[in-house]
Structure 1
Amino acid sequence: MTTQLFLKRFFLLTALVALTLPQGCGDDDPVDDPASNTNTEPQPTPEPEPEPERHAIEFAPSFSGATGHSQIGVFAFDTSTKWDEWAQPDLMHDIRVEKDGSGVWNYDPIVYWPSDGSFDFSFMAYAPYATASNGLSVSDASHVGAPVLRYEMPSATDCHTDICLATPVLDIRNRQEAVGLEFRSVMSKIGFRIKGQGNKVSNIAVRGIQWQGEIALNADDQGSMTWTQVLDFSTTEYQAKLNYDEGHDYVTATETMTDVTAKDGYLYLIPQNITYNARIVVTVDGDKLGFPFVDMAQILPGKEYIIDLEIPGNKLLDYTDNAMPAFLLAPTDAAEAANIDWNDAKAACEASGYRLPTYNEGLMTLFYMNGIEGNNLRFASYWTSTTSLEDPTGESAMGYNIMPWMGLYMPKAGITAARCVKDVPEGGKKYPYVDSTLPDGPVIVSRDNDGGVIPSAFNVLYDAERPVFHENWTTTPDHDGNTDADRISRKLQVANTDATAGKVVWSGFSCPEGWRKPTMMEMALIFTMGGAPESSYGADNAPVTETPLYKVEGFTPLNADYYWVASMSAGRGGRNPATWSFGPTPRSGLGTIVGPDANYVRCVRDIE
């Protein structure tokens, strides 16, 4: 035990001594463990890792077949999960990107692509940039899906412009090149050419058009429905700029059709279907004339239209050749308005030395003059001077519709179209006239060997000459209304009396040998020439002839009731029998397919 204790004390003392001895510094010193050497030289501070290179999002707009703009509006979406209709423009909302003098497109503040290239972005754009003066505005940042561009056409001519949309650029990642934005026009470009006889034209404008609408920035070309339109028609006149004669504020309409639109003077309209409300208003020698949009049922996006206007001057329209008509028609609609009330229409006609036509003259205009010399009546109702006997206030007047044989009473305070007429000098044979020399019935003569009503008239609906007369028939062919068969005879003899003593159903509608059923137009012609009782007419709706049928000896006027006609209607699910009403409303001859089951019959025949 003593020896062991001694050894333990020896080793402990030796260890203590070793801990107190100085470290060696010579060649004989033991080699140090490099890991334990605390006297190594200091190391340099490491440089930080370089930051990833960032690329600004740049744009390269191009305008193909559209007006170039120097400012555009851009929307950008983070579409890392791919574009869908729930996306929002969280990256860029209506940022104005502008081209500088060197052709570089800039915006501020700059937006960068993600440094790791892990996100998809989508872009949509429009031009020009929306301002209060150009009538454009956009949906706010909370709008979900494609942004919406709204437009109200400004009245100032200098603010009319071509509106363009860029093809959407969807789901693209970090790139060094600029984002290409290819713009196309979504407007209809309108210019004008004129022809005349030395007339001075100081202004050309349009009215009665749809002037406000909206469109999504990812909208496809849907023709006239590309825009969502507000169903309201302008009363404002939107003017084009004209290339005036040097030193003057007008352009002279020569005998050569000439383009008169200034380079920056085109109208840009929202694509739309052209209705009877639309008018072209031309200021000629200080007076405003209204013209229809001929051959233009619709205007489409990205299309250019040059409209030819032939200035008629004061030339009255005559529906006869080598003869004298019952009245003359004004070359254009009354006033410059698309639609006006009855009092304004009457005043406009009288101020020009004309008058409103009677209802009978309105119907005759349809028979003989619908579209004569290209001056078409619009697809609309037209005012007449004929007032309603059933309205004790006198506040209703008759209108005639461009759908032949149609008529309706309208409040005078309402608005519709108007075309004026003028009386011809007294004396001479006027067409149509009544020949009362035949014993079986009077003959309405529209054309004879001396001349008379021109056999055809241009119709804009068909873009062609349309016949006024049908060939002479022994039997009326089966036909629908408003077709080439639904015409009138050059010489139409009307039987003195009804074919039956009372009313008959459709199956009993027949005529004696040598006679035939009248067409709808022929029955309307009988009405205009005085075929109804005299009490059905008046000073404001006199028959259009100096010898009314009701004054012909031996002729029995048609009853104030419904009469069968041969013209059918192809609508309402099948071919329906039609009637002409000489009542129950006096003075309102009217075609209809909703007559009673039994009606009167009056027959006619053609005279060579």
Structure 2
Amino acid sequence: MNTKSILALLPAVCLLAGCSNDTQSNAPSDLQSIQFSVNVPNAPRVPTTTETIKTFNTWAFADGKPYMSNVEVVKGENGLWGYSPTAYWPVDESLNFYSYSPALETTKPVTADSPDIADYMSPGDVDLLYGVNMDVNGKTDKQVHINFRHALSQIRFFIRKQPASISNRAIDVKISELKVVNVATTGSFNFPKETTSSTSTAKGEWVTTTDNGEIAVYANATADLGDEYAEYRNTGNIFAIPQTLTETEATAATYSGSYIRVLCKITDPATGVTLWPSASDPNYVNDLNGGYIVFPLVNDSNNNWELGNAYRYNLTIGIPSSTDRINFDVTVDEYQDFNDIPVEN
């Protein structure tokens, strides 16, 4: 098995200016309303960008006490950000802002001055964003410039059958399911206590649970693999809780550790005869769909899904000239720039 580790942090893009769309105010003339602008790092196939983000929620704390409590901020048709009721800058105090998108019911202050996210269950298709602005003062900062960051890891899976040019034998491979197994799907997120500006390296931190969950990537369909890598994903699930992965080990009846599980059937293209699996194979499921093939998520140089990183797994399914065993190959591509990842349409 040939593996190598990956990943690149998401690059930042330029700020888009915005402000509150609250045009009427009964506040004293010497008070200034708190206004916002938003930036979201660019990334391929990510649902949320600076252009597409529509809402976010924010907490503001003054001297360790909530000043704005989980306020929803909405982008208007004119592209400006507004909220209600309007909040105003304190005269003599600075504010610490903790923002996130989309809205979460679980977000609440768990300490005197931080709204860390407890027990977040990732649905798989939601791009969770966070941004922090520390020590913001209305006398010098008329607008809160929020530089959001991606809180989750992005995982992508590209599969091919082993080409006949490599194995000297043509095969057909039909897949009907792809899942990631024995990974944490719930975790608690702690905001950094530093501004997440475009020049800052400040990151949040995840504390995961050990729920041994599954992420369905491809399901309730069938596809024939080709000789070239192609992405197979019909559930929309490309986001995962950042975490430490565990090595895969085979037991008498199943597998332990974190792994990719593909339900597939391998046949001879000329005769249609099933080459794998046989009914006696421990991974056999049924005659129609074949059996489970397991690919480890851990490789020699990487055993983590890091916050804000993207992972592309390349999976190859093939058989040698004899049919006594199946050869499986996994590589993980490394990219210096997140936008360099080739994505199939």
What range is the shorter-chain TM-score in?
A: 0.5 to 0.7
1:229 is aligned, of 196, 208, 232, to 208
Say yes or no: does 1:98 pair with 2:74: yes
* Among candidates 289, 292, 299, match of residue 296 of structure 2: 292
Q: Distance in 2 between matches of 1:222 and 1:64?
A: 14
Assess if the C-alpha contact under 8 Å between 1:75 and 1:123 holds in 2: yes
**2:192 maps to 1:214:** no
Give the Cα separation in 2 of the matches to 1:70 and 1:176: 23
Shift, 1:168, TM fit? 2.5
Q: For residues 22-37 of structure 1, what are the structure 2 equivalents within 5 Å?
A: none
Mapped to 1, the partners of 2:329 and 2:230 lie a distance apart of 19
The answer on 1:185 being equivalent to 2:150 is yes
Aligned to 1:143: 111
Of structures 1 and 2, the one scoring higher in RCO (CA 8 A, sep 6+) is: 2
For residues 328 and 241 of structure 1, what CA distance do their matches in structure 2 show?
28
Runs of 4+ residues deviating >6 angstroms? 220-223
| Closer/same/farther in 2, CA of residues 219 and 229 from structure 1, 3 Å limit | farther
Residue of 193, 205, 210 corresponding to 2:179: 205
Give % identity: 20
One-letter amino acid matched to 2:223: V
Q: How far apart in 1 are the matches of 2:28 and 2:328?
A: 75
Match of 1:301, SS state, is: coil
Indicate the residue corresponding to 2:33 in structure 1: 56
* Residues 460-482 of structure 1: per-residue CA shift (max 9 Å, x gap): 9xxxxxxxxxxxxxxxxxxxxxx
- How much has 1:58 moved relative to structure 2? 1.5
What corresponds to 1:305 in structure 2? Answer: 311
Structure 1 residues 204, 153: closer, same or farther in 2, change over 3 A?
farther
Cα distance, 1:288 vs. partner? 3.3
Normalising by structure 1, report the TM-score.
0.37
Q: Which residue in the other structure is 1:260 paired with?
A: 232
Instruction: Note closer, same or farther for the CA distance 1:109–1:261 as it changes in structure 2 (3 Å cut).
Output: same
Letter in 1 for 2:108: S
Change (3 A) 1:305 1:213: same
How far apart are 1:266 and its partner, in Å?
4.5
Within 2, Cα distance between the matches of 1:301 and 1:51? 43
Are the aligned partners of 1:59 and 1:181 in contact in 2 as well (CA < 8 Å)? Answer: yes
Cα distance in 1 between the residues matched to 2:142 and 2:177: 48
State the TM-score, normalizing by the size of structure 2. 0.62
1:308 Cα deviation after fit: 0.8
* Whole-angstrom CA distance in 2 between matches of 1:272 and 1:187: 10
Q: Distance in 2 between matches of 1:143 and 1:282?
A: 43
Aligned to 2:258: 278
How far apart are the structure 2 equivalents of 1:56 and 1:208? 48
Map 1:375-394 → 2, pairs under 5 A: none
Match of 1:435 in 2: none
Shift of 1:173: 2.3
| Equivalent residues of 2:55, 2:102 under 8 A apart | yes
5 Å-filtered alignment, 1:176-575, equals 177-196=142-161, 197-218=171-192, 226-230=205-209, 232-234=210-212, 236-240=213-217, 249-261=221-233, 265-276=236-247, 277-285=257-265, 286=289, 287-293=291-297, 295=299, 296-312=302-318, 315=319, 328-329=324-325, 331=326, 373=327
User: Aligned partners of 1:237 and 1:317: how far apart in 2?
Assistant: 34
Higher share of residues assigned strand:
2
* Alpha-carbon offset, residue 282 of structure 1: 1.6
Q: Alpha-carbon deviations, 1:324-346, whole Å to 9, x = none?
A: xxx945x4xxxxxxxxxxxxxxx
More helix by share: 1
Kept in 1, the 8 Å contact 2:133–2:144? The answer is no
Change (3 A) 1:307 1:58: same
Q: Secondary structure at the match of 1:167?
A: strand
Q: Who is 1:70 aligned against?
A: 54
Q: Using the alignment, how far apart are the partners of 1:171 and 1:103 within structure 2?
A: 23
Distance apart, 1:124 and its partner CA: 1.5
Name the CA distance, whole Å, in 1 between partners of 2:82 and 2:157.
Answer: 37
CA contact (8 A) 2:154 2:308 kept: yes
Q: Choose which of 88, 112, 126 in structure 1 pairs with 2:100.
A: 126
5+ residue gaps, structure 2: 1-26, 162-170, 195-200, 248-256, 266-288, 332-345
RMSD: 3.3
Q: 2:264 and 2:205 mapped to 1: Cα distance?
A: 35
Q: How far is 1:229 from its partner?
A: 1.9
Give deviations 1:296-319, integer Å, cap 9, x for gaps: 41121111111011124xx4797x
| Structure 1 Cα separation of the partners of residues 93 and 304 of structure 2 | 44
Cα deviation 1:448-494 (Å, max 9, x = unaligned): xxxxxxxxxxxx9xxxxxxxxxxxxxxxxxxxxxxxxxxxxxxxxxx
Q: 1:55–1:176: 8 Å Cα contact kept in structure 2? A: no
Could you tell me whether the CA contact under 8 Å between 1:205 and 1:281 is conserved in 2? yes
Amino acid in structure 2 at the alignment position of 1:198: D
Question: In structure 2, what is the Cα distance between the partners aligned to 1:51 and 1:226?
Answer: 40
**What SS does the corresponding residue of 1:311 show, helix, strand or coil?**
strand
CA contact (8 A) 1:253 1:311 kept: no
CA contact (8 A) 1:189 1:266 kept: no
The C-alpha deviation readout for 1:550-571, integer Å capped at 9, x for no partner, is xxxxxxxxxxxxxxxxxxxxxx
Secondary structure of 2:130 counterpart: strand
**Count of residue pairs brought into register by the alignment:** 248
Structure 1 position 194, deviation (Å): 0.5
CA contact (8 A) 1:191 1:266 kept: no
Q: Which has the larger radius of gyration?
A: 1
Distance, in Å, in 1 between the alignment partners of 2:296 and 2:202 is 25
Q: Shift in Å at residue 294 of structure 1? A: 5.1
Give the C-alpha shift of residue 271 in structure 1.
1.5
Amino acid at match of 1:145: D
Deviation, structure 1 residue 250: 2.9
What CA distance in whole angstroms lies between the structure 2 residues aligned with 1:284 and 1:305?
A: 23
Residues 119 and 307 of structure 1: CA distance in aligned 2, closer, same or farther (over 3 Å): same
